[in-house]
Structure formats: C-alpha cells, structure tokens
Structure 1
C-alpha cells in the first residue's frame, strides 16, 4: 500500500530522477523544475506516492489560463518503470484531481492517451472549442470539468 501525499521539499530530487527514468529524455524533469519557479506552480497539487520511503509515482497539476478563466494542466504523470501497471499512476492522478475539486478548481486539461484518461472523466477538448499548441493531437487533447458552473440568464428568461 502506498502513501499518497503532497510532495515535500525533500522529494524534489527523487521526483526528478523518477521523471528521467520514466520518460525517454529529461524534458519532463526540466519542465517540472522550470514550473517550480513560476506562478503556475501550486505545491498543493504536486502529488507523490511513496512506498517504504521511496517515491514511486508522481502527478502534477499546474496553473494555466483557459480563455479568461483559470484552469489546470495535468502532467507530467510518472511511475518508476519497475512499478508501472500496478495502479500507482491512477492513485496519484485521482488524489491530485480530488485536491483540485475540493479547492474549487473548474477545468483540467491533459495531453495523453484517451483510452487511459477517460477512466478519470476526461473527454476530447476540441468539441468545446478549447485550443492550444497541442490541439492538433486530436482526441489526445482532453478536458475534465471538476465542478459545476452555473449559467446565469437575464431576468426576462425567468418569466417563461
């Protein structure tokens, strides 16, 4: 059983090493390092799974803008190569999304495998008119609504 929790300062190097091991390059590790020093970094949404004192999985939600509204980007998500296919990635994703929902966040975008991310409720973003540099990825460009958004109609509508 893993302990899923917010990343601590003493996890930073372990997260960096895990990201480098989990991906073909150090690009994701460099991305996380760069985000740490920006307004997009939200430490409460940097989640790790730890087992026997070792960080084995990681998920990050960072601040983005969607139109004129704030939102979150999910990624990177990583699991140590020898621990993959054991549900650890799902654990850290679910915990990060739970934290964001409880904090009142509204939307999360992700670029990833639709077959994997649909289990969390993600759907293709293009039908909602959400575009970015990754829109050309087709259905891999996905969105998840975390909290309801109330539509407000002008008073004449209430007279119907």
Structure 2
C-alpha cells in the first residue's frame, strides 16, 4: 500500500480528530490529542500522520513524560498515545508503520525511551517489554504486562526507575 508517513501540519488537525474519533468510536482520544498539542508535553515532529491519496488515514502521538524515582530524581521519556487508524485501513500495517516511524524520529531527536499502555501481544514486536523490568510503574492500577517500555538506544533506561508522571492533559480528557 502506498502510504506516506509524515509530521502533522496545522491543516491536518480536523482530519486527525476524525481519525481518532472513528478509530476509538468516541471523542475522548481526539480531545486528548487537541489538549496535548497545546501543552508543554507536545514535541514538534512527534505527531505523525499516515496519508494515502491525500487523505489522513492514521495518526500517532508521542508526548513528553517524566519518570520520578524514590529519591525524586527525574528522567525524561515519552508516552506513545494515542495511535489510531481509520477502520477501513486497520490490520494493514499502517499503525505499525506509524509506530516505527515515531520511534525512529524520537531516537533521532535524542529521546532514550518510550512508555506505552497497550496490548501485551502487539507492542513487543516493536521491542516493548514490561516496564517493571526496569522497576518503572504506572501512576494507576494497570496489569503489569500491559504497561511497557522500550529503550530507543542501548541502555536507554539504565539506572532509571520510578513512577511515570503523565502530562496533566491525560487526566482532563
């Protein structure tokens, strides 16, 4: 399939909202993307779209998070959320292409790790493993196998542990 993965443009905002609403069957994720886009957690270049024949058919967003350990040391990381593909284009590798492109871009601009809350059989193919491996915990109750991390560079999570602190916009959506 001929799909272009690229950074979002301001003209894509409405289409990105439509993709998220359709993929999730509700407006919450679209609203979350809008809130995050206008927050300090937003990273220019890490909101990516999949475009086919001029139509936005997929979207992924990576935003800044912190991991804070018991000694109050703070480590920068990214959250992968949300990832959305229009229903007619799901299960065709578009979401995977968006995730791979986002992980590569995050690595290129200097990030060391990414955290995701997601399906335990899907995300490991991108290198994600339970975050508990590094003693990294979610700030809420979640199954261990669904809360995962990936090192973008070798030893990217060395000496990193603690509780993830998401942007406050995640709570508002």
When normalised by structure 1's length, the TM-score is 0.90
What CA deviation, in whole Å up to 9, does each residue of 1:119-143 have, x standing for no partner? 1000001232111234522211000
- Aligned partner of 1:155 in structure 2 is none
- Which structure shows the higher helix fraction? 1
Could you say which structure has the larger radius of gyration?
1
**Is contact 1:45–1:60 with CA below 8 Å preserved after alignment?**
yes
- Output the CA distance in 1 between the equivalents of 2:140 and 2:134: 14
- Partner of 1:157 in structure 2? none
Task: Name the structure 1 match of 2:153.
Answer: 147
TM-score by length of 2: 0.83
Q: Distance in 2 between matches of 1:127 and 1:135?
A: 17
Query: What runs of 5+ residues in structure 1 fail to find an aligned partner?
Result: 153-160
The alpha carbon displacement at 1:149 in A equals: 4.0
Tell me by how many angstroms 1:22 deviates.
0.4
Aligned length: 152
Give deviations 1:79-114, integer Å, cap 9, x for gaps.
001110000000111000000111120110000011
Unaligned runs of 5+ in 2: 69-73, 160-173
Structure 1 residue 146, shift from structure 2 partner: 0.5
Q: 1:81 maps to what in 2?
A: 87
**CA distance, structure 2, for counterparts of residue 128 and residue 149 of structure 1:** 11
Within a 5 Å distance, the mapping from 1:41-60 to structure 2 comes to 41-60=42-61
What value does the CA root-mean-square deviation take over the aligned residues? 1.6
Which of 91, 94, 108 is equivalent to 1:102? 108
**Residue among 121, 128, 136 paired with 2:134:** 128
Structure 1 residue 66: Cα displacement: 1.2
Matching residue of 2:7: 6
Deviates more, 1:103-112 or 1:141-150: 141-150
